[in-house]
Structure 1
Amino acid sequence: MPKPPSSVPAELVSLLEGLPEPHILMDEQYLILAANAAYRRQFGPQDEVVNRPCYAVSHHFTLPCDQAGETCPRAQALLSGQVQRVLHLHHTPQGEEYVQIELTPVRGSASGPVFFIEKMAHQPLAQPRPSAEGLVGRSPAFRHMLGLVARVAPSQASVLLLGESGTGKELVAHALHRASQRAHRPLVPVDCSSLPEALFESELFGHEKGAFTGATQARPGLVESAHGGTLFLDEVGDIPLAQQVKLLRLLETGTYRRVGSTELRHADIRVVSATHRPLAQMVTEGRFREDLYYRLGIFPIHLPPLRERREDIAPLAQALLERVAPGRQLQLAAGALVLVQAQPFPGNVRELRNLLERAALLCDGHTIGQEQMRAALACGLAPAAGQVAPHGMEKIPPDDATLAHLLADYPGRRADLARSLGMSERSLYRRLQQLKRRATDGGRPPCGSIESLPCSPL
């Protein structure tokens, strides 16, 4: 078994071995010098990692993380001299997994070399591959959002989830709760858009017997039900202006009163709220209280729309098929996946799920082909007001970046791809010429492989 070099302080190796969580020791050249017992149990034998670069072991990279598109905590820790935390996607014996990294720089002596102690913790917030439940994704936009979730989840800070309809705000709220210190207590969702203004206070805070007509007995509210856990205020932008001050009082003082009671009650809750509405604009227009806006948004997280995370469509589609058609083991044919990836999805993940559920109903076998997918697209809902029709024969053509990826990855003939996209072969040829011309003229090509694509007629 490889042993740490003699230049490594023995006390560092001894300290590592006594830690209950997985830890490794590295030098300034990214070389792993030691791995403790907890690491060996979770990630593999020491002789497979010691004397190898950390980026080769964890990422299968040939270059350091910061030279391969990742955030490198080692480089940041060396500059700052302080502990650095970052969420990474690591190769493990169980496959790729999200891992929370905490890196601490240590100097053996004033003039000696700098070593780095790296703590690793499996982060079950999401999966990079298809999963039967929870969040799925690996795109840069998704990973940035997930890193913020991982950072704020263990705290007590109020979180405001902002994003378009259908981006998965409730799933993120559940992930926040599961990764928090309140995971053993309930998460209580409140659909603010469905609460009538007259009942808002009673539903949220509860009421006493006789507080109003029909109150035949005392009843606890949703705040009380969430005691010790998380209160999830969904569509918080729909709370009537007159009721917002009552929520503000709860957030600022942690206290409330049941309707019809003078008794002051204390609320031990963590608040997570979500909305698709432009709250900042609503504040300017006087439709949302400014003080409540800032109180809810201690830690805002923007959820990326599906069009900004197209790399996630393939694993998302497979995961959603398992959820909408459990037990059928459905797969998407390559041509069907190309059709799906070409859609603009203004309804985001919710629209993708609806499309796949229709396709599953139209498929009798185990593989959804192009024809079933075309039929699922054609029988979809009409676009909402102000949106261009994304389905049927009037599909929106894919943007340059998406088209370039489709051209590079499509397994069949380009003529088949043109038909899948609802374009003529000549139109696809002209788009390809335009992409090549932009690259030749010095413009930035939409993907690295576009320059190698042939520009001959289809």
Structure 2
Amino acid sequence: MAHMLPELLSYLESLAEPHILLDRQYRILAANAAYRSQFSPRASVVGRTCYEVSHHFSVPCDQAGESCPLARARESGQRERVLHLHHTPQGESYVNIELVPLLDAMGEQAYFVEKMEPLRVAQGQPVRQGLVGRSLAFQRMLELVARVGPSHASVLLLGESGTGKELVAQAVHDASPRATHPLVVVDCASLPETLFESELFGHERGAFTGANTSKPGLVEAASGGTLFLDEVGDIPLAMQVKLLRLLESGTYRRVGSNELRRTDVRVVSATHRDLKAMVTDGRFREDLYYRLSTFPIALPALRERGDDIALLAAALLERVAPQRRLSLSAGTLALLQRYPFPGNVRELRNVLERAALLADGHTIEPVHVERALGTDARPSPVALQRAEAPEATASGAESSLRSVERAALQAQLKAHRGSRAELAKKLGISERSLYRKLREIGEAPDAA
């Protein structure tokens, strides 16, 4: 294959997307102009390993807890795709990787061509808009967004309230060929049944009392783009069959009209409800469920994204108080990382906004978060200790952390109906740690 190398390099150089050529030892043999421009404008990467350049690792990705497309391709002998968080001149950014093994005359893998495409719908660093995160749970969710985005498949977003389903819907839309057309949001929970059909499909003049003019519906407004059905579990049964027709045929009728209209929309839906249970109970059509859930994506709760709290907090502070350059003290960050946030990212934003209003300086301290969380209506012991003995601040913060953790554990214990093993798994701790914490708060560890 050595005699083919110049032709291969010339081919790579002609490609508009960033590409590199690798050998079996992860060494970069060539990088085309698009790669050099986007990822390495100041220094050559030739001769260096891909894992050192992209991740600053000293070992291959698969030995550092990452998914390595080259290692996977060597095993499968096929094209492999992964989503990676790469170091770039603009900071850490998500990049879609597509790697293809090239065979020599003996049929052995000799080289690997890697294509890189920045995923611009999420960041691994604080930004004022869009998805932010780098935890494993977040990356798994984001990889599904990257895979389904360019397709036309219907997407069902599943997750607790406050996990950012509308942001993920926006990311799916932005990663699709429909990104230049509108994303239209339908809040299914807020539309009364009597208005649902006319809002979704539109109505003709005189269709009902008060319909003085014809009005296009949200389906028509979304033509060419994406229709996002938020809280799809709240759609009335009578409307579900009409929505099914739209999904299956792309047709609908305005209220008061017999004319069959066509539209071209991609449907993304979201719910915090258990749709399968609703199907079993007869409250949601089974055929509609399967049409909506062609590609389901589960959104992780914030308690599953502890590593993202610092990133999210920095990004949210930029959004709620952009002029103040606020930061979190170490004790405050630890406090936020311990709190379970049943309201997820939405609750974190609210807490930070309240804490920002309570803070006079540029640093948010545990006392501000305590008051924002409503854990102590009296003057905070942390503030009193700071005034009387500055050196006692750390111990006061630790006491506050313990009180918040105790209250959170008691709330989880009260709401949980399963075994202690299930509760430990839900909290992300071992059973031994759970039993120790239960003894500390005076609960019987062996209770059911």
Which TM-score band applies after superposition, normalised by the shorter structure? 0.7 to 0.9
Amino acid at match of 1:182: R
Aligned to 2:48: 52
Does structure 1 residue 305 correspond to structure 2 residue 301? Answer: yes
Structure 1 counterpart of 2:337, which letter?
Q
Q: How does 1:297-446 map to 2 (within 5 A)?
A: 297-378=293-374, 391-392=375-376, 415-423=395-403
Give yes or no for the alignment of 1:87 onto 2:56.
no
1:245 corresponds to:
241
Q: Match for 1:105: what amino acid? A: P
Counterpart CA distance in 2 for 1:163 and 1:35 is: 41
The partner residue of 2:266 within 258, 263, 270 is 270
Tell me the residue number matched to 1:439.
none
Match of 1:98 among 94, 97, 108: 94
d(CA) in 1 for partners of 2:245 and 2:317? 44
Counterpart secondary structure, 1:151: helix
- Determine the structure 2 residue equivalent to 1:398: none
Rounded to whole Å, the distance in 2 between the matches of 1:46 and 1:347 is 45
Quote the Cα distance in structure 1 between the aligned partners of 2:121 and 2:264. Answer: 24
Q: How many pairs align?
A: 395
Supply the distance in 1 between the matched residues of 2:261 and 2:138 (Cα, whole angstroms): 39
Tell me how far 1:196 sits from its aligned partner.
1.0
Residue identity opposite 1:91 in structure 2: H
Secondary structure of 1:123's aligned partner: strand
Classify the secondary structure of the residue corresponding to 1:12: helix
What is the letter of the counterpart of residue 288 of structure 1? Answer: F
Amino acid at match of 1:273: S
Matched with 1:188 is: 184
- 1:65 corresponds to which of 47, 53, 61: 61
Q: 1:23 to 1:46 in 2, by over 3 A?
A: farther
1:95/1:209 Cα in 2 relative to 1: closer, same or farther (>3 Å)?
A: same
Identity %: 67
Whole-angstrom distance in 2 between the partners of 1:331 and 1:415: 21
Q: Equivalent residues in 2 for 1:437-456 (5 A)?
A: none
RMSD: 2.2
Q: How does 1:190-205 map to 2 (within 5 A)?
A: 190-205=186-201
Equivalent in the alignment of 2:7? 11
Does residue 271 of structure 2 align to residue 291 of structure 1? no
Q: 1:54 to 1:170 in 2, by over 3 A?
A: same
**Matches of 1:261 and 1:423, distance apart in 2:** 62
Q: CA deviation at 1:200?
A: 1.1
Aligned to 2:158: 162
Does the CA-based 8 Å contact 1:84-1:103 persist in structure 2?
yes
Change (3 A) 1:150 1:445: farther
Aligned position for 2:229: 233
Letter of the 1:14 partner, please give it. Answer: S
SS at match of 2:189: helix
Q: Which amino acid aligns with 1:376?
A: A
**TM-score normalised to structure 2 length:** 0.84
2:398 partner amino acid: A
Q: For structure 1, list consecutive stretches of 5 or more residues without a partner in the other structure.
A: 379-390, 394-410, 425-442, 447-458
1:221, 1:112 → 2: CA distance?
Answer: 58
Gaps of 5+ in 2: 378-390, 405-429, 434-448
Question: Retained in 2: the 8 A contact 1:34–1:46?
Answer: no
Would the aligned equivalents of 2:91 and 2:125 in 1 still touch at CA under 8 Å?
no
Tell me the SS of whatever aligns to 2:256: coil
Q: 2:124 aligns with which of 111, 119, 128?
A: 128
Residues 1:253 and 1:111: Cα distance change in structure 2 (over 3 Å) = closer
Deviation by residue 1:304-349 (Cα, 9 ceiling, x = unmatched):
0001010000110111111111211111111111111111101100
TM (normalized to structure 1)?
A: 0.82
Q: Distance in 2 between matches of 1:258 and 1:57?
A: 56
